[in-house]
Amino acid sequence: MSPPEGLHVRLSQEAPIPLEAELSCAAGEILALVGPSGGGKSTVLRSVAGSYRPAVGRVEVEGETWFDSEAGISLPAHRRRVGMVFQSYALFPHMTALGNVMAAMGHMPAPERDERGRALLELVHLAGLEERRPAELSGGQQQRVAVARALARQPRVLLLDEPFSAVDKATRQRLTREIADLRRVLSMPVVLVTHDLDEARMLADRMTVLHRGRTLQTGTPEEVTTRPVSAEVARLVELRNLFEGRVAGHDPAAGRTMLAWAGLTIEAAPRPELAIGESVSWVLPDGYVVLHRRDRPSRGEHENPVKGTVEAALAIGQTAHIALRPLSDPSLPIHFSVPLHVAQRNGLAPGVEAAVSLLAEGIHLMPPAGRRDERG
Amino acid sequence: MDWTALWLSLRLAGVTILFLLPLGIWAGRLLAYRDFPGKGLAEALVALPLVLPPTVFGYYLLVAFGAASPLGQLWQSVFGTPLVFTFEGLVAASILFNIPFAVQPMQRGFEAIPAEVREAAACCGMSPWQALAKVELPLAWPGILTGMVLSFAHTLGEFGIVLMVGGSIPGETRTVAIAIYDRVQAFDDAAAAEMSSLLLAISLAAIALTFAFSRRIGRRLG
C-alpha cells in the first residue's frame, strides 16, 4: 500500500485529544511539523516514539510496523529505534554528558560504547566536556548532548520536538546551522516539530501544517507558505494579506483570472475552473507587493496598482513593516515589508499616501473560508 | 536496659523495611505515574494509618488476624502457629501501619522525575526494568531512603498497635516501646529513661537524615 521506505504515520481519534493526522517522511528528508501550540504536534511525535497510543492508526518505519490498531500491533517504546530530542532535552541529570550518550547504546557491544560516545560528542562540538553533568552545561550544550544521545541509538527515525525553543536567539541560530550541517550524515527520516516558520523554511524539505490534531497541508515550505490550500492554512502560516473577493471573469488570452476586490479589479494567476461570480479567499505573500517608488517609476507599476494611506510603519532591525489602507476600501489593509532605507527615502510614515502593485503571479485563490476549511 | 526488647525492635524494624522496600517502590511508582479509577481512594487508604487511632487500627488487625478470621485460620493451617501474639503477626501489622511512612516519600521521589526524562529512557532503548534501575531509582533514591528511615524509626516507636496485636511477650512481641511502658509501671525509672533517650536519639537522627535527603532531591533535580 504505502512504500516501505521512510516514515509513514496515520492517526485518528476523537478523544481525549482529537487527531486526524497523516504524514510521511522519506529517508534523509527533514519534515517540519508546524502549527500553533496545543495543535497536537507533540502528540504525533509521541505516537511515533511509542509513549502515546492513539485509538486508531498506523505507524510504519522503513517497512517495519510499529503500530497498527487494526492488527493489534503496538511495539513498546523501548523497542522502537527512535532518536528523540525533547523540548526540555530531558537529559538524565545524574549522568555525565558521555554517560547520557552511552545510555542510548544498549544495542551495541559494551567495549565499543565509550569510543562511539566520544565520537558523537565530538560530532556535536562537545569534545572535552564528556565528564560534565547536565547541570554544569549551558542550554545550547545540553541541547547538543540531547542530539548526540538521540543519534547514539542509531535511530530509524529522528524526532526533534521544538529543539531550539529553550535557548537564546544567538544559540538558536548557531544550533540551526549545526543541524543543517548534520544533515549530511543523517540518512534517516527526520521530523522536526516547530512553531517557527523561519526554522521550518531553513531546515525542512517539506512541511506539514497541523492544527487541532488535523494535518491540513503538506508541501515544500515555499508551496505551503505561498500557496496554502485554505484560508485556515494561510492564517496558520502567518500570511497577513488574506482577503475575500469574487471571480469577475477570465482572460485566457492574457492568462489571467480577474478578481473583484475592494472596489477594484485585480488580475490574478489563471484559475479557469472557478465560476464567474464565485466568492473566493485569496492571499498575497509580502514579497509580491511592490512599492511604487517616488523617484523612479518602473514598468511593473501598471500591474494591479493600489493607492492607499500608510497606516503604520514599524521598523524591526533593517526592515520596515508597512500597512497600507487602500483608498477604495480602507478596511482592508495590505501588509508588506521593504528595507528600512527604502521606507525612509520614500517617506513612508503614518498618514502618507503611497501606491503599490500587487503582482498577479503571487495572488493565490482559494475556496472561501467556511466552505472547506472550517469544521462541520 | 532491656536488650532483648531492643534487639526484637531492631529485628522487627529491619524485617518491616525489607518488605516495605519493594512494596513502597511498586506502590509509590504506581501512584506517581499512573491514573486509574479509584486512585483517590487508594491514596486515601495509604494515608489512613496516619490519622487512625493506633488502638482502633490495632483492634481491626486483631480481629483480622485472630484465630476466628479466615486469614488467621489460613495462617494457622499453613504454619501451625497463630498469627496474633507472635513475631510474624507483629511484622504483618508493622508493614500495614507503616505503609504511609514508606509509600508517600517514595511517591514524592518518583513524582519529582519529569515525564520527559522517563520517556527519554524508553527512547534510549531501556526496557521498563532497565529504566527503573538506571534512571528512576538513581533519581528517586532520596525519597526511597526517606521512606525506609521513617518506617524504621516509626516501627521502633509504635506502641498501641503492637500492644493490641502482639501483647507483651518477652523475646516474641515485647518491643522496646512496650518495655519502656513496663518499666514505668514497675517504677524502674532509670531503665525507662535509658531506653527513652535511646529512642529519642534514633528519632532525631531519622528526622535529620530525611531532611538531608529531601534537600538532596531539590539539588539534583532543581
At residue A2, does pLDDT exceed 50? no
At residue B212, does pLDDT exceed 50? yes
Contact B120 A92 (CB under 8 A): yes
Average pLDDT rounded to a whole number, residues A366-376 = 54
pLDDT value of residue B219: 59
A91, A92, A106 ranked by CB distance to B125: nearest: A106
Residues of A in contact with B132 (CB under 8 A): none
Contact A104 B123 (CB under 8 A): yes
Rounded to a whole number of angstroms, the distance between the first and last alpha carbons of chain A is 30
Q: Would you say residue A78 lies in a domain?
A: yes
Residues of B in contact with A83 (CB under 8 A): 123
Res. B222 pLDDT band, cuts 50 70 90: very low
A301 and A266 within one domain: no
Test the B interface: residue of A42, A51, A193 with most B CBs within 10 Å: A51
Contact B119 A84 (CB under 8 A): yes
A202 and A59 within one domain: yes
Distance in Å, alpha carbon of B20 to nearest chain A alpha carbon: 25
Question: Between residues 138 and 197 of chain A, which touch chain B (CB distance below 8 Å)?
Answer: 149-150, 152-153
A364 and A249 within one domain: yes
Chain B: residue nearest A158 by CA? B123
SS (H, E, C) A62-77: CCEEEEECCCCEECCH
Q: Would you say residue A1 lies in a domain?
A: no
Question: Between residues 82 and 141 of chain B, which touch chain A (CB distance below 8 Å)?
Answer: 114, 116-117, 119-128, 130-131, 134-135, 138-139
A197 and A264 within one domain: no
* Last residue in a domain, options A235, A270, A294: A235
Chain A: residue nearest B128 by CA? A78
Tens-digit pLDDT profile for residues B71-111: 999 999 999 888 889 999 999 999 999 999 999 999 999 99
Report d(CA A85, CA A139) in Å as an integer: 13
Domain count, chain A: 3
pLDDT value of residue B132: 95
Q: How many residue pairs from chains A and B have C-beta atoms closer than 8 A? A: 76
Tens-digit pLDDT profile for residues A21-78: 999 999 989 999 998 888 889 899 999 999 999 999 999 999 899 999 999 999 999 9
A229 and A344 within one domain: no
Q: Report the amino acid identity of residue A134.
A: P
The domain that holds A106 is classified in CATH as 3.40.50.300
At residue A168, does pLDDT exceed 70? yes
Q: Report the amino acid identity of residue A6.
A: G
A263 and A214 within one domain: no
A128 and A108 within one domain: yes
Report d(CA B212, CA B222) in Å as an integer: 15
A51 close to A77: Cβ distance less than 8 angstroms: yes
Test the A interface: residue of B34, B124, B127, B141 with most A CBs within 10 Å: B124
Contact A92 B117 (CB under 8 A): yes
Report d(CA A97, CA A100) in Å as an integer: 5
Sequence-separated (6 or more) residues with CB below 8 Å from residue B80: none
Residue A312 buriedness (CB in 10 A; 0-12 / 13-18 / 19+): middle
Residue B51 buriedness (CB in 10 A; 0-12 / 13-18 / 19+): exposed
Tens-digit pLDDT profile for residues A350-367: 999 999 999 988 999 987
Sign, Cα dihedral of A117, A123, A128, A129: negative
Pairing of strands A30-34, A206-211: parallel
Q: Note whether B218 contacts A: Cβ–Cβ < 8 A.
A: no
Measured CA distances, A360 to A167, A222, A304 (Å): 40, 17, 7
Report d(CA B120, CA A6) in Å as an integer: 22
A258 and A141 within one domain: no
Sequence-separated (6 or more) residues with CB below 8 Å from residue A135: A93
B39 close to B117: Cβ distance less than 8 angstroms: no
A235 close to A219: Cβ distance less than 8 angstroms: no
Domain segments of chain B as ranges = 3-35+43-217
Average pLDDT rounded to a whole number, residues A164-186 = 81
A57 and A170 within one domain: yes
SS3 A31: strand
Give the count of beta carbons closer than 10 Å to the beta carbon of residue A339: 11
Mean pLDDT score across all residues of chain B: 90
Q: Would you say residue A162 lies in a domain?
A: yes
Report d(CA A134, CA A132) in Å as an integer: 7
B127, B130, B139 ranked by CB distance to A94: nearest: B139
pLDDT value of residue B214: 74
Q: Which ranges of chain B does DSSP label H, i.e. alpha helix?
A: 3-33, 39-51, 54-65, 70-79, 87-97, 99-111, 115-123, 128-131, 137-157, 160-166, 176-185, 189-221
Give the count of beta carbons closer than 10 Å to the beta carbon of residue A138: 11
Contact B123 A107 (CB under 8 A): no
Contact B117 A90 (CB under 8 A): yes
Report d(CA A129, CA A325) in Å as an integer: 56
Residue B41 buriedness (CB in 10 A; 0-12 / 13-18 / 19+): exposed
A203 and A129 within one domain: yes
Q: Would you say residue A159 lies in a domain?
A: yes
A26 close to A189: Cβ distance less than 8 angstroms: yes
Nine-digit cell at A257?
A: 483570472
Q: Locate cell 518505519: which residue?
A: A61
Question: Between residues 48 and 67 of chain A, which touch chain B (CB distance below 8 Å)?
Answer: 49-51
Res. A216 pLDDT band, cuts 50 70 90: very high
B105: left (phi over 0), alpha (psi -120 to 50) or beta: alpha
Q: What is the CATH number of domain B3-35+43-217?
A: 1.10.3720.10
Contact A93 B220 (CB under 8 A): yes
Tens-digit pLDDT profile for residues A311-354: 888 888 899 999 999 998 899 999 999 999 988 888 888 999 99
Give the residue, A302 or A12, on which the prediction is more confident. Answer: A12
B116, B125, B139 ranked by CB distance to A86: nearest: B116
Report d(CA A57, CA A20) in Å as an integer: 9
A185 and A91 within one domain: yes
pLDDT value of residue B220: 56
Q: Residue A315: give the domain boundaries.
A: 286-358
Report d(CA A57, CA B62) in Å as an integer: 54
pLDDT value of residue A93: 94
A185 and A65 within one domain: yes
Report d(CA A20, CA A2) in Å as an integer: 18
Res. A369 pLDDT band, cuts 50 70 90: low
Residues of A in contact with B127 (CB under 8 A): 76, 78
Contact A78 B128 (CB under 8 A): yes
A51, A92, A94 ranked by CB distance to B122: nearest: A51
Give the residue, B220 or A127, on which the prediction is more confident. Answer: A127
At residue A207, does pLDDT exceed 90? yes
Q: Would you say residue A2 lies in a domain?
A: no
A50, A94, A103 ranked by CB distance to B124: nearest: A103
Give the residue, A182 or A204, on which the prediction is more confident. Answer: A204
The domain that holds A257 is classified in CATH as 2.40.50.230
Q: Note whether A94 contacts B: Cβ–Cβ < 8 A.
A: yes
Residues of B in contact with A84 (CB under 8 A): 119-120, 123
pTM over 0.95: no
Q: Report the amino acid identity of residue A320.
A: A
At residue B122, does pLDDT exceed 70? yes
Contact B123 A46 (CB under 8 A): no
Report d(CA A75, CA A157) in Å as an integer: 15
Report d(CA A184, CA A123) in Å as an integer: 12
Tens-digit pLDDT profile for residues B152-180: 999 988 888 888 888 888 888 899 999 99
Tens-digit pLDDT profile for residues A229-258: 998 999 999 899 999 999 998 988 888 899
Residues of B in contact with A106 (CB under 8 A): 124-126, 130
Tens-digit pLDDT profile for residues A260-283: 998 889 999 888 888 888 899 999
pLDDT value of residue A152: 94
